[in-house]
Amino acid sequence: MTEPNTDCVELVVTAEDAEWLAGWTRRLVEDRLVACGHHITPIRVTYRWDGKIWDHGSARVALHTRASLVPEIVARADRDHADEVPCVIATPLVGGHPEYLKWVVAETREPGA
């Protein structure tokens, strides 16, 4: 394991529509907001919303990006996602392959660029 790297995060996003999530992820890569997305589908999600218990199929993607780009990605999710409050969770990467982490930074842009 390498030294902690606070520049990179793994951002988890879920959506009911796996194809929508794949297309949305591709646009994030094209716009250099994320270096890549690792898709897991199907998943099952259970949660309470508006006083009702929901239980259904969904999809999940783990996005690798710079921590500084998270606010832009959250704003994009708020704009594009079907859910009123989309699941978007960032976890700092505490280590990893140094060359991979350099690649994540190289493949993403500076915030606001």
Helix axes 70-80, 18-30, angle to 10 degrees: 140
Note the pLDDT tens digit of each residue in 47-92.
999 999 999 999 999 999 999 999 999 999 999 999 999 999 999 9
Tell me which of 113 and 34 has the higher pLDDT: 34
The whole-angstrom separation of Cα 109 and Cα 33 is 6
Residues in CB range of 78: below 8 A, 6 or more apart: 86
Residues in CB range of 91: below 8 A, 6 or more apart: 9, 10, 11, 12
Tokens of 75: 């704003």
Note the pLDDT tens digit of each residue in 21-54.
999 999 999 999 999 999 999 999 999 999 999 9
Instruction: Return the C-alpha torsion angle 107, 74, 64, 20, nearest 10.
Output: -90
pLDDT for 19 equals 97
Domains of the chain: 8-106 (3.30.70.120)
The whole-angstrom separation of Cα 39 and Cα 12 is 10
What 3-state class would DSSP assign to 61?
A: strand
